Every structure is written in C-alpha cells, then in structure tokens.
C-alpha cells in the first residue's frame, strides 16, 4: 500500500521515487540533485525504505551504490505504481483546470514494434484524430498485461502465452509461425524449409529464454537429438533480426515479428516442425474504450494487414 505520508508499516511514493532515481543515477549525490533534495534526505528515505521492507536494496562500495537483485525486482512494480500516481495526479489537475481534453490514448506494444510499425500506425491515426494526444509504452507481454489490468493504458498488443488474468479481455488479431531469419546469401537460404537437422552446429540467436514458446522450441531440438549452438541470447525480436542481418547467426522467431523487419538484408525461411503464436489486443474487462482508442485499434489492425501483405 502506498501512503502519502509514511506510516508505521507503509511505504510512501517518495521512497519509491528515491529507489527509481538511485537505480538511474547510482549515487545519493546525483539522486539528490535530480529530486531537488539534500543528500541526507535521500539517504534517510532509502534507509526508511530498507527498514520498512526488511531488505537490503543497495550495496555500498566507495561512495557508489550497487543495486541488489531484490532492488531490481522491486523496481519493476515501483515504476508501475509511480506511473499510476502520475496519471492520477495529471487527471486531477485537468479536472481542476477544466482542461480535461483533448482525449489521450495510451497504448502498450512490444519493443520490437517501436521502430517502423508504431510510427506508421500513428501516422494513420493522426489523419482522423489530430487533436488527440498519444502515449506509447514499449515493454514485455507480462508488463503490458499488467499495465492493462491496472488501467494505466487503454489497450495493449501482446502475444497470448496461456491463461490471462480475469481482469483482461483478449481480442485475437494476428497469428504467426516460427521461422528462421538469416543474412542474405546464408548457406541455408537455398532451403525451402529449415529443420533442427540443418541447424546442427549453426550459431543460433534465440529469444525469450524460459518463455513458453522458447521452452517448446528447446524441446523440439531435444527430441530431434540436435544440440543447440546458442551464440546469442536476446530479449527482443528486433535485436534478433538485427544480429542475424549482420551475420551473427540464425534467429528463430515468429513470422509476425520477422515480417516487421523485411527492410533489413534478411532471408526468411519456414522452420519445421512449426510453432504457432497468437497475438491480440488486450483491454481491461468491462471497461469501455473511448472512440479514439477504438480508432487506434482499427489503425493497428490495418497496419498489421499492410505489414503481412505478400
């Protein structure tokens, strides 16, 4: 629970701001300057937070603060809480001033859609809604689902990876299958389909370790008796495509994301046995969308159709 003032057993938002700022700056001096506080004030808030949580959040080393794994984990939720507080405060300010318009549409998208997909989608949207402000959040499927459930964003586009929270409704809008992405002229580009057998000894670029699709991919290689020669582990499809385009290995990703990067010097070949991925628009259950948000979903669907044209 977040309290405006520090209670006997509560954590206040100022302490969360200190945590976020210390992670970004690495020192109490820099954090104090950023927040407009004294260095002792920052140190005191950090000490109070560690006491309230009964956790050590930073190791001290010659004036530097080194974040513990616990601090990094807590920072994820702290950021979402602070975003919610910011949204609440801004809404209250708009209500007080009477400036509740123009409408704002807040959307969440995977990181891999930031470079080309999102700009094209927004260019389409502003033709009909030039006065609407847009806020974009680029993050992982789990983080986007959380933002939807907490109503920090109006909707999110994400990969369906199993059971969703009861607080989220999912509208399917796209599917993909696993493909191999490689640099132009790669030895495997002459094949119509690539199997684990052809990938024996080939440097691989793999995404999403421990995620459901990756677990199934690893099992396919295990059953085929082919050890994976993993060259690069990454956590975004856009980086996997960029690495492949530079000849660093063969990436195995969803065709949905591979098609977003056809502007790169890449070859795309089906992977067999194929894995299917489902993608959809996630909204908060029972919460009606504004006309502007509904129009943005329409733009997203049109851009998906355009990207996946042959």
What is the separation, in whole angstroms, between the first and last Cα of the chain? 51
Question: CA distances (Å), 112 to each of 64, 65, 145, 234, 249, in order?
Answer: 34, 32, 16, 12, 19
Q: Give the count of alpha carbons within 13 A of 241, CB side only.
A: 24
175-277: CATH number: 3.40.190.290
Answer for the pair 251, 231: CB distance below 8 angstroms, yes or no: no
We find that the CATH architecture of domain 100-172+278-307 is 3-Layer(aba) Sandwich (3.40)
pLDDT digits (tens, 9 = 90+) for 237-247: 999 999 999 99
pLDDT digits (tens, 9 = 90+) for 261-306: 999 999 999 999 989 999 999 999 999 998 889 999 999 999 999 9
Whether 175-277 and 2-85 are alike in CATH topology: the answer is: no
Place of tokens 């970004």: 24
Answer for the pair 193, 277: CB distance below 8 angstroms, yes or no: no
CATH C-level class of 2-85: mainly alpha
Neighbour count for residue 170 (Cβ, 10 Å) = 18
Round to whole Å and give the CA distance between 288 and 291. Answer: 9
Taking residues 98-117, report their average pLDDT: 80
- pTM of the full predicted structure? 0.69
Q: Give the count of alpha carbons within 13 A of 292, CB side only.
A: 18
pLDDT of residue 1: 37
Pairing relation of β-strands 11-12 and 2-3?
Answer: parallel
pLDDT digits (tens, 9 = 90+) for 118-164: 999 999 999 988 878 899 999 988 899 999 999 999 999 999 876 67
Task: Enumerate the domain spans of the chain.
Answer: 2-85, 100-172+278-307, 175-277
Facing residues of 174 across strands?
A: 279
DSSP 218-247: HHHHHHHT---EEEEEES-HHHHHHHHHTT
Tokens of 257: 């994301």
DSSP 247-296: TS-EEEEEHHHHHTTTTSSEEEEEBSS--EEEEEEEEETT-PPPHHHHHH
Task: Give me the chain's average pLDDT, please.
Answer: 88
Neighbour count for residue 197 (Cβ, 10 Å) = 10
Tokens of 198: 């052809």
């Amino acid at each position: 629970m977040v309290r405006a003032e520090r209670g006997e057993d509560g954590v206040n938002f100022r302490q969360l701001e200190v945590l976020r700022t210390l992670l970004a700056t690495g020192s109490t001096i820099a954090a104090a300057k950023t927040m407009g506080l004294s260095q002792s004030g920052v140190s005191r808030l950090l000490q109070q937070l560690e006491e309230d949580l009964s956790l050590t959040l930073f190791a001290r080393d010659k004036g530097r603060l080194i974040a513990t794994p616990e601090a990094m984990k807590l920072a994820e939720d702290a950021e979402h809480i602070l975003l919610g507080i910011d949204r609440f405060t801004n809404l209250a300010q708009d209500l007080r001033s009477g400036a509740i318009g123009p409408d704002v549409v807040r959307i969440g998208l995977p990181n891999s859609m930031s470079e080309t997909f999102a700009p094209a989608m927004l260019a389409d949207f502003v033709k009909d809604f030039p006065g609407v402000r847009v806020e974009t959040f680029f993050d992982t499927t789990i983080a986007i689902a959380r933002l939807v459930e907490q109503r920090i964003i109006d909707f999110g586009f994400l990969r369906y990876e199993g059971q969703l929270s009861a607080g989220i409704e999912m509208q399917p809008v796209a599917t993909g299958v696993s493909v191999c992405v490689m640099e132009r002229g790669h030895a495997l580009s002459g094949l119509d389909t690539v199997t684990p057998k052809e990938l024996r000894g080939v440097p691989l670029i793999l995404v999403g370790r421990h995620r459901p699709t990756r677990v199934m991919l690893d099992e396919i290689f295990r059953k085929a008796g082919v050890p994976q020669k993993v060259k690069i582990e990454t956590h975004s499809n856009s980086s996997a495509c960029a690495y492949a385009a530079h000849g660093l290995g063969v990436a195995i990703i969803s065709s949905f994301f591979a098609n977003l990067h056809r502007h790169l010097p890449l070859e795309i070949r089906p992977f067999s046995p194929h894995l299917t991925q489902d993608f959809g628009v996630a909204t908060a259950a029972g919460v009606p969308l504004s006309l502007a948000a509904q129009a943005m979903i329409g733009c997203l669907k049109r851009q998906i159709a355009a990207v996946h044209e042959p």
